[in-house]
Amino acid sequence: MKKLLLIASVLLSTLTFSQTWNITGNAGTTPANNFVGTTDTQDLVLKTNNLERLRVHSSGSVGIGTAPDPRLILSVQGQSAFGANINSDVFYIGNDHPSVDNGMSLFFMRYGKYQPNNPGVIDVAG
């Protein structure tokens, strides 16, 4: 009887303390303790078809379709589409700093391969 009780308690504790993430979702998680990510200085990589699609660098920079640039928060390489089906702004690029110095660019579009003078620049003057 003691042997059976010991086996049952080991099985029960294994099932109770199992730390797995379910592909159908998880409930009762606490973001401070339960997360998808790394706890060391290694990057987090997401793949599909065994090809890297997104990388979060250990510094926090994110690269989608390209390596993360440590100078930027987000780097995206490839075609992108932004859309909305709402009566509001569809896409916003802005600078929320309280002041922008004279000569700084608010908006900058570059098509440098064929247009070296970088059309689409909106600069601050005055």
Q: Which range (21-30, 56-65, 108-117) has the least confidence?
A: 108-117
The CA distance from 81 to 83, in Å, is 7
β partners of residue 75? 63
Count CB-CB contacts under 10 A for residue 27: 5
CA–CA separation, 26 vs 35, rounded Å? Answer: 11
List, for residues 61-94, the tens digit of each pLDDT value: 999 999 999 999 999 999 888 777 777 766 666 6
Tokens representing 91? 């896409």
Tell me what pLDDT residue 98 has.
78
- Per-residue pLDDT tens over the stretch 23-41: 888 888 888 888 889 999 9
CA distance 82 to 87: 15
pLDDT at 52 over 70: yes
Helix (H, G, I), strand (E, B) or coil at 75: strand
Can you tell me the mean pLDDT for 104-110? 64
